[in-house]
Chain A
Amino acid sequence: MLEFRTQGFNGYSVKYSPFFDSRIAVASAANFGLVGNGRLYVLGLTANGIVAEKWFDTQDSLFDTTWSEAHENQLLTAGGDGSVKLFDITLDQFPVQSWQEHAREVFAVHWNLVAKDTFLSSSWDGTIKIWNPNAPASIATLPTHTCTYSAAFSPHSPSIISCVGSDSHLRVFDLRTPASASNHLTMNIPIHTPPKPRMGAAAPPGIAPAEALTHDWNKYRDTVVATAGVDRLVRTFDIRAPQAGPIAVLPGHEYAVRRVSWSPHLSDTLISASYDMTCRVWSDGSAVRGPAAMNPDDMLGDPMMHGGGRELGRMGRHTEFATGVDWCLFGAEGWCASTGWDERVLVWDARALMQ
C-alpha cells in the first residue's frame, strides 16, 4: 500500500489517468470543504513512492475532478464557487479555461468517454450542463430540479447521460431525443423502490427515499448502473427494466456511501467509499465466483440483501470519511486509489482483500 499526504487539504475525489498507469489526480479542499481554498494534485507513482508532480491552488474548494479523454495533460475540476476549470499540467499555476455558469457548488464533472469532445458538470443548482472545451459557454443544460450530486456519460454511448441526486431518483437523459418538454429526459427510476418480491421469499422491507450521492455505469454490461447514497445501500439497476426495481442490493456500509466505481476489469465487481471510513469491494452476484459465493451467512444475514451479491473485502486504513476511490485501468486488475478527509491518498491492491 502506497501513501501520499495531501497536507492541509482533505481529499474529495481521486481519478486515475486514462493515459498513464502512474498518474493520479486528486481534488481536495481545505477545512473539509466547509470554507477555504481547494487544491488539485497531480501525483506520480514512482519507485520511491508517490510524489506530487504538480498542484494547482484554487480559490474555492474542489469537489471532483476528471481527466480529459482527448488530451493526456488536461483535466477538469468541479469548484465550490460554481466554476468548472480546465487545467493543463504542462502549464503553471492557472487553468487553461474556466467556465462559470452554475449557480451553486459543482459536485461532479465527467468527460464523454466515447465522443471525447464534450464533458458535463452537475451542480446543486439542479442542472447538468454539457460543455465543449473549445466553447466559451455551455452547449446544453439539462434541468434535474434536484440537488445533483453525481452525473456521468455512459461509457457505451456518446449521448446518454445519467445522474442521481437528493430526490432519490436515477435519471437517464438521451441527447438524441428532441429537446421537448422533457428536456431529453428519458427515464426516471426511483432508487428506493424495493426489489420485486419473489415466490417463496419474504417481501423485502420498504425503505424511505434518501439522497443518492453517487452512481456509476458498468463498464461491460451497458445497461447496468450502480447507485449508492445516504441509505447506506449500494444498488444496481438495469435500465432496460426500470420498473423492476434494483437487481442487486448490497447492504453493509455503516454510513452514507460517498462513491462507487465499477471495475474496468471484472464485470461484477465494484468498489465503494463511505462515511464509515472504509472502502469496500463488492460483487453484485452476476458472475459465478466459486464456492465462497455460496456463503450461507450472506444469504441469511441482512434482510436488505438482494440479488446474490456480497462484500468481497474491505479496506479500513482511512481514519476519516473516505470520499473518493477509483480503479487503475492498467496492469493487473485490482489496483485502486482512494482518498479521504484524513488528508491521505492510498494506492492499494484490492485483490489482497478479496476472498
Chain B
Amino acid sequence: MADALCGPSTALQTFQKHTSVDRTLQQDRLVGRHSPSQGFRSSLGPNNGAVDHEFEAFQAGHALPPQPQFQHLPPHLARPPPPQFAQTSQAPDWASDFQRLNISQAPQIPQQRVPAPNVASSWHQDFMAKQSSAAQAPVLQQNGVGGMAGYGMSGFARPGFQQSGFGMMNGGPLSEVAQGKQRAQEAVPQFDEAAFERAFADVQQAEERALADTLQQQDTHQETAVDNSPQETEDPALMRIREQRPAVYAALKIRSAVDLQNASQAEPYLDMLESMETNHQLTKDASEAKWVIDTLQNIAARETPQEIKARSGHLIRKINERLMSTYPLLSAPVPINQDRIWEELEAAGYTRPLVPEQLQQPQQPEQKQEEEQHQPRHDDDEMAQTAGRLLERVSNNTSEKFQNSQFLELMRRLRDREVRVEGDKMVEVSNAQSASSPPSSAPQQPQPQPTLDPLAANLEYYHDVSHGMDWSWSDPPSPAPAARTIIPPVDPNILDHAATDFDTPVYSGESHEYAPLPHQETSENVTDEVSDQYSYYNVHSTFHR
C-alpha cells in the first residue's frame, strides 16, 4: 500500500488511490464495538468472557476489581457515590463538561502547556540574541522561564501562547464562556454527604415507629397519606419539602434507605410513590416527576436489592408513561425546571459534591454489565419474559394452526418455566432440578443469550398495528380507580415510540445541550451514515446490546 500513497505521482496512480486503497481495517474500528463473545448463544471458551471484561476495563482505565462499597468507609475516605441527583442540576453543556474533565484539574495545565511556551521562548531567545546586545540576554531568559511579565517580546509571548492553547482545547472563542461557567459552578455550594446521612440516621428510629401508622393511613385516605407520613422531628427545611413536595421527599427517603443498605425502609416510600403515581398526584408537577425519575434511575443503577431495582424500574416506566400521556409533545410547552427543587434541597442542606460524581459515572454501565454476566438466572427470566411477550402478540389468533403450533407451545412452556435453556439444550425443569449439580463440562459457561428478542419484535408490530393504526391515544382504560379528580388516561403504547432514557432531553425553556446533528439541507439521497438516520433509531434497544 505504501507505494500507492507516496512516490512520484502520475494521473493513473492518483486515480488508483481512489479505488484501490483498502480501508477495511479502519472501518472495522467503527463496527467492532461488541466483544465477539458477548452476543452468541454458545460461548467460545470457559473463561473467555471474563478475560474480555477485564481487558475492557483495563482499556477504559478502570481499576480492578471494582471499588469497595463506599458506604462503609468514613466520610473522608469514602469515594463519592454514583451519580444521584446531580447531573441534571447544572447547566450541562459540552463546554462545562469539558471544563470538569480537563481544565478544572488545575495542576495538569502547566505540565501540558510547558512545551509550547518553551519552544516559543527559545525561538524568541534565538531571535533576540541575534538582534540585541549580549547584556539583555539574561533578562530575556528570565522572562522565558516565566518569572515576570517584562518588556521583552518573550514576556508577551508566553501568556499569549497559553491563551491560545486554551482556545484550541476549548474549541476557539468559547473558552472564556466555558471558564465563566466553571466559576458559576464552583459558586454552587458543595453539599455535605455526612450531614445528609447523619440527619437520616437520627430520624431513623422515629421513622420506624411512625411508618406503621402511615401505612394504615394510606389505606384509609390515600390522597392524604403523604401529609400524614412520619411526624418525626426534622429540620424545618426538610419538613417543608415533605409538605410541599411529597414525591421528592419520598424519593430522598428511598435513596437514603438504599444508601444505608436498609432496603426494608425504602419499601413504604416506594409504595407511597406508586400510589401517588396512580392518583396522578406525582405528575401534577412535571419537573417534580422528572426529578423523581432521575433519582429512581440512579437508585436502580446502583447495587440495590433486586426487588427495589425492579420496583423502581417499573415505577420509572409508569411515571414516564403518565408524564408523556399527560403532557403530549406538541401541547403547550411545560417548563421543566428543577432548579427550584435544588434550591430547596440546598436550603435543607442535603446536597453533595458534584464534580467527582461525574467522573465516576462512566464506570457504572460496565459494572452493571459485569453483574449481568454473572447472573445466569437472569437470562432465564429474560427468556421467559420474552416468550410471554411473544405469546401475547399472537394471543388473539385463534386459528387452528396457531393453537397447535409446537413453537408456540414451547414458548408457553418457557414462559411457565417448565422448560429452560441450559447450555446448548432445552431442559425440562423438573429433570434439571433432580440433577441439579452444575454441568461438569463447563461450569463457568455463561448462559446462552436468548435469541428470541428479534422474533418477539417481529411479531410485536402486529400488536402495534392492531391497536394503534389510527394513532389515537384515547382507547385504553386507565388502571386508576375512579377518583374524585379526573385522572388523564395513560396510553400503554406511548413509550414504544419514544426513547425512555431521558438522558439528553431538549427542554423548550432551555438552550440546546448538544450541538444539533448536521441537518440535511436537501432531500437528496442520504449517503452519509452519520446524518439523520439515527434520529429515530434507538441503538440502546434490546437487540443491539
Contacts and interface: CB of A to CB of B under 8 A. Distances in A.
A153 to B, nearest CB: 18
Interface string A24-39: 0000000111111100
B41 A255 contact: no
A103 B24 contact: no
A182 interface: yes
Interface in A237-276: 242-243, 254-256, 275
A146 interface: yes
Interface in B419-469: 421, 423-426, 448, 450-452, 454, 457-462, 464-465, 469
B529 interface: yes
B464 A208 contact: yes
Contact of A59 (B39, B42, B457, B469): B42
Contacts of A36: 424-426
B21 A80 contact: no
B526 interface: yes
Given A178-B19, A208-B497, A32 B410 contact: yes
Nearest to B523: A243
B40 A82 contact: yes
Interface string A120-132: 0000111100000
Contacts, number: 164
A198 interface: no
A275 B38 CA distance: 28
A185 B527 contact: yes
A61 B40 CA distance: 11
Given A32-B407, A166-B543, A232-B461, A179 B23 contact: yes
A183 B30 CA distance: 11
Given A211-B458, A319-B401, A147 B544 contact: yes
Contact of A232 (B41, B423, B462, B544): B462
A256 B393 CA distance: 12
B31 A145 contact: yes
Interface string B16-30: 001101111001101
B424 A35 contact: yes
A88 interface: no
Contact of B406 (A126, A166, A242, A320): A320
Interface string A80-91: 111000000000
Nearest to B411: A32
Interface in A261-317: 275, 277, 316
B521 interface: no
Contacts of B462: 232, 254-256
A176 B24 contact: no
A36 B526 CA distance: 40
B450 A34 contact: yes
B525 interface: yes
A143 B426 contact: no
A114 B32 CA distance: 30
A242 B525 contact: yes
B485 interface: no
A113 interface: no
Contact of A183 (B21, B39, B42, B529): B529
Interface in B32-91: 32, 34-36, 38-42
A186 B527 contact: yes
A143 B543 contact: no
A42 interface: no
A181 to B, nearest CB: 7
B457 A34 contact: no
B10 interface: no
B425 A35 contact: yes
Nearest to A253: B462
B22 A140 contact: yes
A169 interface: yes
A205 interface: yes
A254 B466 CA distance: 11
B461 A82 contact: no
Interface string A164-183: 00110100000010110111
B527 A34 contact: no
Given A34-B41, A188-B526, A210 B27 contact: no
Nearest to A130: B24
A143 B460 contact: no
Q: By CB atoms of chain A within 10 A, which of B454, B523, B536, B539 has the most?
A: B454
A190 B377 CA distance: 39
Nearest to B43: A81
Contacts of A342: 406
Given A178-B19, A230-B457, A31 B39 contact: no
A34 B40 contact: no
A34 B421 contact: yes
A256 B459 contact: yes
Nearest to B394: A255
A141 interface: yes
Contact of B24 (A139, A211, A229): A139
Given A188-B526, A242-B525, A230 B461 contact: yes
Contacts of A81: 40-42
Contacts of B21: 179
Interface string B397-423: 100011011110010000000000101
A216 interface: no
Contacts of B503: none
A187 B525 CA distance: 6
Interface in B464-485: 464-465, 469
Contacts of A167: 533, 537
Nearest to A102: B36
Contact of A80 (B40, B405, B539): B40
Given A80-B451, A145-B31, A166-B543, A230 B421 contact: no
A166 B544 CA distance: 10
A199 B402 CA distance: 42
B458 A275 contact: yes
B219 interface: no
A308 to B, nearest CB: 23
B235 interface: no
A178 B30 contact: no
Contacts of B22: 139-140, 179
Contact of B40 (A60, A127, A142, A146): A60
A209 interface: yes
A320 B539 CA distance: 31
B39 A143 contact: no
Contacts of B38: 103
Contacts of B39: 82, 103-105, 124-125
Given A59-B42, A176-B19, A138 B407 contact: no
Contact of A320 (B394, B407, B460, B523): B407
A67 interface: no
A90 B397 CA distance: 45
A183 B26 CA distance: 11
Interface in A192-208: 205, 208
Nearest 10 interchain pairs by C-beta: A256-B458, A230-B461, A104-B39, A178-B18, A167-B537, A103-B34, A143-B31, A188-B526, A103-B36, A182-B527
Interface of A: 10, 31-37, 59-61, 80-82, 103-105, 124-127, 138-143, 145-147, 166-167, 169, 176, 178-179, 181-183, 185-188, 205, 208-211, 213, 229-232, 242-243, 254-256, 275, 277, 316, 319-321, 341-342
Given A34-B450, A103-B35, A255-B462, 5 more contacts: A31-B410, A35-B424, A125-B31, A176-B19, A242-B525
18 contacts: A31-B410, A34-B426, A80-B42, A81-B41, A82-B36, A124-B543, A126-B544, A127-B31, A145-B533, A169-B533, A179-B27, A186-B525, A205-B469, A211-B458, A255-B458, A255-B462, A256-B458, A256-B461
